[in-house]
Structure 1
Amino acid sequence: MSVTAGPEVVTLGCRLNIAESETIAALLGDRDVVVVNSCAVTDAAVKQTRAAIRRARRARPGAELIVTGCATEIDREGFAGMVEVDRVVGNLDKLRPDHWGAVPISPSRFAGHARAFVGVQNGCDHRCTFCAIPFGRGPSRSVPAGAVVERIAGLVAAGHREVVLTGVDVTSYGPDLPGSPTFGSLIERVLILVPGLERLRLSSLDSVEIDERLFALMTGEPRVMPHVHLSFQAGNDLVLKRMKRRHSRAQAVAVVERLKRARPEIAIGADLIAGFPTEDEAMFADTLALVDDCDIVHAHIFPYSARAGTPAARMPQVAHEVRRERAARLRAAAAARKAAWLRELVGSNQSIVIERSGIKGHAGNFAEIHTAPAPPGSVQRVRVTAATDTHLEGTTA
């Protein structure tokens, strides 16, 4: 059975895709169209994109079906050749109004989200050996600060209490702009020029690019949430070198220790890859230990996925079953660390933004808290009364 005609955007992948999908949705008007905004970070993500396309065609047989996003850059001909697909819009063109037959427009609200995501940077100039995203996103490009401020001011005026700054490599923000501003200077400008913004959250950061200005804001500015997600990827120095990462294990531990000393309540998240090529059990043990050594309570864990054309795909591969087993062990360690952290929060008071369900939200440290029904998008002060392994329970304080 088909659903009612009208625009629909199906989003896969990262927070930047979420932000871009909101702009695409605003450009579609009232057309009978489905857009699949794809992801290519892993083979699984590409398969999920293809599955989403097939589901969308079954649900909307009469709609125009357009595919965009990173997967279209990695395999444009493959997606254009799918019988379900009417048109492919390149990743670098997906925010251009002329590709959607529309005039420039900026959505006033982030539909369906309590938090609003604002893209401030796109692309990446680094070439980690496992990553195909630079092929899909191109070189690093920064959004001028004035446009970021204007966007956030509009979202706050429309009722959003929390904004997330996102990008592919947000800490590389600025060198391509006049005066070479930094990510820290952008944050300062947002906080000064949008005084009504109550909560500012940062997406994934490269720890080696956290300068003193950014560090001071992350640890000393109360409107910047006490939650930092770091792109660590591994905990063994040789693996990090083969990944072409720019930090060592010791530097990863040191940056977390410094953050915790300056702001003890800060919660650490991290991206970790299990089963990178050449990884042996001892190397993996270093990554497993990083969960405790860096107090990682919000872990994004992936088994390594070979991406065509990347240097890592040509390295000696770890068996698929070993990758899956190591990823499972990493997830178990991260889950145990998170459960212990959640128990420590019982009895504390937390401020949360209520999400669409009306009965839960995320604290500044990104702990999920379930509480009494409240208006979506509102900020509630909650007393934490109990903890499960995955979330907290609380009552309005």
Structure 2
Amino acid sequence: MNKLFYIETYGCKLNQLDTERVRNALHAAGYTETDDPEVAELIVVNSCAVTGNAEKESRYRLRRLQRANPDARKYFIGCFTEIQNLPDTVFLRGEEKFQIQELMGHLPSYPEIQEKHVRPLVHIQNGCDLNCTYCIVPYFRGSSRSIARDEVLDQVKAVIHAGRKEAVLTGIHLGTWGKDLTPKQHFLDLLRFLDKHTVNQLKIRISSLDSNEIPDDLIEYLQNSEIVQPHFHIPLQSGSVGILKRMKRRYSPNQFLSVVNKIHGAIPEACLGADVIVGFPGETDEEFKECFSFISKTPLDYLHVFPFSPRTGTPAATMPDQVPEPLKRERVKQLKALSDDRRKQFAQRFIGKHRTGILIYPDLVLTDNYISVHLNTSTDISPGSEMRVKPTHIASQGSVHGILV
């Protein structure tokens, strides 16, 4: 009978990619995955500590799994701030997670493309050098390190070989790609390199880029690119001048606005999104209003809104004037309502128009410009295939519906 393992993942796309590497190593070591933790001989929890709630949830699940299956060997890996004393549990922080290679056998450099991976992740970079006052990620992930372009291309070719039509470039700080290589390179160099070697074979989606790392020549390239999907996620964090300074972000609201306006003007069909942190220490009513007003002036089409979560070891955790939780929740609610309105307005522009997209489920297509279109009838075409879809209407709750064309 095969040895069984169970695995759970929390957090970012890079964590998901790391989990696939661990999963492949366990398969190579003779283990079979199960969705029932109570029968597993080995349990892995790949944790996230970007926010306090994320780490709390990871630890809560570990304790639950310990009670459900006390006899299993357990690995708590990834990002976490402290080690707990739990029997039969190995804690491997950050890059230590890949010590499973020594414990479980060969760990492949990059995961194999599985059938369930309809939009595979391509790892191009790890780590961050910025040290924003609220962020604990550099503590876990270290300094910025680029994956050589030939290794990136190998990953992309594996995606193509698996028959997938879209890959997502992922990392912690994509805009720094190439700065540590010899000779020094830029993110645009990587895009041009991939474009040259994957003509008409694959679409690329960029997971995230900071506004101060999007120069005019990159926007010009994106405007004319046939490989990069027209969807750009550009972290904002706040629209308040004072808060951005306290966060030690390296751009101003006006600089951010200039960049997103240029992208919107050059690629009007592109979907533009941003992250926003609400309730940063000292955030006054006036600063929140400044943030809300600023976002209202941008062409952003959606927001990922997070309440500030103090992380031990970061400067922001000990800043004065921490914002009360009820006030954070109210401000989050206001920005999420704005985001919902923007999503609907963006989708409405494409009702009745044909778009290409990737079939995510038999009844769901994700368009090139990031609209999730629910199909009226399911298809028997394999997920991961490229499709043509026509959004037909928006339901009362905001979901977009359409048909294949």
- Give the shorter-chain TM-score range: over 0.9
Instruction: Please provide the CA RMSD for this pair.
Output: 1.9
Q: Give the counterpart letter for 2:104 in structure 1.
A: G
Mapped contact 1:22–1:111 kept (Cα < 8 A): no
C-alpha distance in 1 between matches for 2:198 and 2:92:
34
Is 1:369 the counterpart of 2:363 in the alignment?
no
C-alpha distance in 2 between matches for 1:23 and 1:140:
20
Q: Determine helix, strand or coil for the equivalent of 1:373.
A: coil
Which deviates more, 293-302 or 228-237?
293-302
CA offset digits 1:53-88 (Å, max 9, x no partner): 2344455554322111112xx22x23xx234x6212
CA offset digits 1:273-328 (Å, max 9, x no partner): 11111111111012212332223223111011111111111212111111111111
Mapped contact 1:296–1:338 kept (Cα < 8 A): no
Aligned to 2:18: 20
Correspondence list, 1:116-135, <5 A:
116-135=120-139
Mapped contact 1:123–1:140 kept (Cα < 8 A): yes
Q: Give the counterpart letter for 1:396 in structure 2.
A: L
C-alpha distance in 1 between matches for 2:115 and 2:21:
11
- Among candidates 52, 68, 71, match of residue 77 of structure 2: 68
Which deviates more, 91-100 or 343-352?
91-100
- Among candidates 359, 362, 366, match of residue 354 of structure 1: 359
CA offset digits 1:143-163 (Å, max 9, x no partner): 111111001101210121110
Aligned to 1:91: 94
- Among candidates 386, 398, 402, match of residue 394 of structure 1: 402
- Among candidates 306, 315, 326, match of residue 302 of structure 1: 306
Which deviates more, 126-135 or 345-354?
345-354
Q: Determine helix, strand or coil for the equivalent of 2:4.
A: coil
Q: Give the counterpart letter for 1:140 in structure 2.
A: S
Correspondence list, 1:223-302, <5 A:
223-302=227-306
Which deviates more, 242-251 or 382-391?
382-391
C-alpha distance in 2 between matches for 1:134 and 1:92:
12
Once the two structures are TM-superposed, the CA of residue 345 in structure 1 deviates from its matched residue by 1.8
Once the two structures are TM-superposed, the CA of residue 27 in structure 1 deviates from its matched residue by 1.1
- Among candidates 57, 77, 84, match of residue 48 of structure 1: 57
Q: Determine helix, strand or coil for the equivalent of 1:231.
A: coil
C-alpha distance in 2 between matches for 1:110 and 1:295:
37
- Inter-CA distance 231–383: structure 2 relative to 1 (3 Å threshold): same
Q: Determine helix, strand or coil for the equivalent of 2:310.
A: coil
C-alpha distance in 2 between matches for 1:117 and 1:56:
28
Q: Give the counterpart letter for 2:152 in structure 1.
A: V
Is 1:216 the counterpart of 2:224 in the alignment?
no
- Inter-CA distance 127–7: structure 2 relative to 1 (3 Å threshold): same
Q: Determine helix, strand or coil for the equivalent of 1:261.
A: helix
- Inter-CA distance 341–42: structure 2 relative to 1 (3 Å threshold): same
CA offset digits 1:85-121 (Å, max 9, x no partner): 6212231133456334322424331452310011211
C-alpha distance in 2 between matches for 1:180 and 1:172:
11
C-alpha distance in 1 between matches for 2:236 and 2:263:
15
Unaligned stretches of 5+ residues in structure 2 = 32-40
Q: Determine helix, strand or coil for the equivalent of 1:201.
A: strand
- Inter-CA distance 52–156: structure 2 relative to 1 (3 Å threshold): farther
Aligned to 1:380: 387
Q: Determine helix, strand or coil for the equivalent of 1:285.
A: helix
Aligned to 1:311: 315
Structure 1's consecutive aligned runs of 4 or more residues displaced over 4 angstroms after TM superposition are: 58-62
Q: Give the counterpart letter for 2:138 in structure 1.
A: P
Q: Give the counterpart letter for 1:99 in structure 2.
A: E
Once the two structures are TM-superposed, the CA of residue 231 in structure 1 deviates from its matched residue by 1.1
Mapped contact 1:385–1:394 kept (Cα < 8 A): yes
Aligned to 1:341: 346
Aligned to 1:150: 154
Is 1:202 the counterpart of 2:206 in the alignment?
yes
Aligned to 1:10: 8
Unaligned stretches of 5+ residues in structure 1 = none
Mapped contact 1:350–1:364 kept (Cα < 8 A): yes
Which deviates more, 36-45 or 290-299?
290-299
- Inter-CA distance 141–336: structure 2 relative to 1 (3 Å threshold): same
Mapped contact 1:268–1:294 kept (Cα < 8 A): no
CA offset digits 1:139-183 (Å, max 9, x no partner): 111111111100110121012111000111110111211111111
- Inter-CA distance 111–128: structure 2 relative to 1 (3 Å threshold): farther
C-alpha distance in 1 between matches for 2:63 and 2:356:
41
